[in-house]
Structure 1
Amino acid sequence: MARRTVRLAIKDARTAKGLTQTQVAEAMEWSLSKVMRIESGEVTISQNDLRPLLTYLSVREKARVDELIQAAKASKQRRQWWDERRFASLVTTAMKQWFSYEFEATSIRIFCASYLPAFLQTPAFARSLLEFFEDELSKEEITARIETRTRRRQAIDQRKVKPQIFMLLDESVLYRGHGHPDVLRQQLSAALEVIREGWVTARIAPYEVVNPGIGHWEILYLGQEDLEHAVLYRENATRDEIIDDPASLTRHLKQWNKIWQAAHDEEKSVELIERRIGELVEKSARTKSTP
Structure 2
Amino acid sequence: MAGEHLTGWIMTSPEPPAVARRRVRLALRAAREARGFTQQHVADELDWSLSKVNRIEKGDVTVSKTDLLALLELFGVDDDELIDDLVRAARSSRQRGWWDEPRFREHLTPPMLQLLQFETEATAIRVFQPTLVTGPFQTRAYAQAVLDFWQPELSSVVREARLETRLMRGEQLLSRADPPDIYFIFDESLLHRPVGGVPVMAEQLRHLLLIMERPTVHVRVVPSAAGALVAMLGPFLICDFGEEENAVLYRESLLLDEVVHSAETIGRHRRYFEHLWQESLSETESVRLIEARADHMYSRMRRDTSG
Q: TM-score, normalised by structure 1?
A: 0.87
Could you say what secondary structure the match of 2:193 adopts? coil
Quick check: 1:235–1:241 contact (8 Å CA) kept in 2? Answer: yes
2:93 paired residue number: 75
Within 5 Å, give how 1:208-287 maps onto structure 2.
208-209=225-226, 210-212=228-230, 213-222=232-241, 224=242, 226-287=243-304
Q: CA deviation at 1:288?
A: 4.1
Instruction: Confirm whether residue 179 of structure 1 aligns to residue 199 of structure 2.
Output: no
The match for 2:104 among 87, 90, 93 is 87
Change (3 A) 1:258 1:189: same
Could you say what secondary structure the match of 1:203 adopts? strand
For 1:90, the aligned partner's letter is: H
Could you say what secondary structure the match of 2:149 adopts? helix
1:101 paired residue number: 118
Quick check: 1:7–1:38 contact (8 Å CA) kept in 2? Answer: yes
1:152 paired residue number: 169
Within 5 Å, give how 1:106-145 maps onto structure 2.
106-145=123-162
Q: 1:95 and 1:195 mapped to 2: Cα distance? A: 24
Alignment identity in percent?
Answer: 36
Q: CA deviation at 1:27?
A: 5.6
Instruction: Confirm whether residue 3 of structure 1 aligns to residue 32 of structure 2.
Output: no
Deviation per CA, 1:32-60, whole angstroms, max 9, x where unpaired? 4x66664444543221332234445x353
Quick check: 2:124–2:181 contact (8 Å CA) kept in 1? Answer: yes
Q: CA deviation at 1:110?
A: 1.2
Could you say what secondary structure the match of 1:104 adopts? coil
The match for 1:47 among 51, 59, 65 is 65
Could you say what secondary structure the match of 1:204 adopts? strand
1:199 paired residue number: 216
Quick check: 1:111–1:169 contact (8 Å CA) kept in 2? Answer: yes
Q: CA deviation at 1:204?
A: 0.5
Could you say what secondary structure the match of 2:224 adopts? coil
For 1:237, the aligned partner's letter is: L
Quick check: 2:194–2:201 contact (8 Å CA) kept in 1? Answer: yes
Q: 2:60 and 2:162 mapped to 1: Cα distance? A: 19
Bigger drift between 118-127 and 212-221 goes to 212-221
Instruction: Confirm whether residue 170 of structure 1 aligns to residue 170 of structure 2.
Output: no
Quick check: 1:14–1:20 contact (8 Å CA) kept in 2? Answer: no
For 1:65, the aligned partner's letter is: I
1:17 paired residue number: 37
Q: CA deviation at 1:158?
A: 3.1
Q: 2:59 and 2:190 mapped to 1: Cα distance? A: 33
For 1:122, the aligned partner's letter is: T
Q: CA deviation at 1:277?
A: 0.2
Change (3 A) 1:20 1:185: farther
Q: 2:209 and 2:223 mapped to 1: Cα distance? A: 18
Q: 1:69 and 1:27 mapped to 2: Cα distance? A: 19
Q: 1:88 and 1:11 mapped to 2: Cα distance? A: 29
For 1:75, the aligned partner's letter is: S
For 1:68, the aligned partner's letter is: L
Q: CA deviation at 1:187?
A: 0.8
Gaps of 5+ in 1: none
Aligned length: 284
**What is the RMSD of the two structures over their aligned residues, measured on CA atoms?**
2.6
Bigger drift between 228-237 and 79-88 goes to 79-88
Deviation per CA, 1:193-237, whole angstroms, max 9, x where unpaired? 010122211111011112243532111111x2x322211111122
Change (3 A) 1:264 1:47: same
Q: CA deviation at 1:166?
A: 1.2
Q: TM-score, normalised by structure 2?
A: 0.83
Q: 1:133 and 1:26 mapped to 2: Cα distance? A: 50
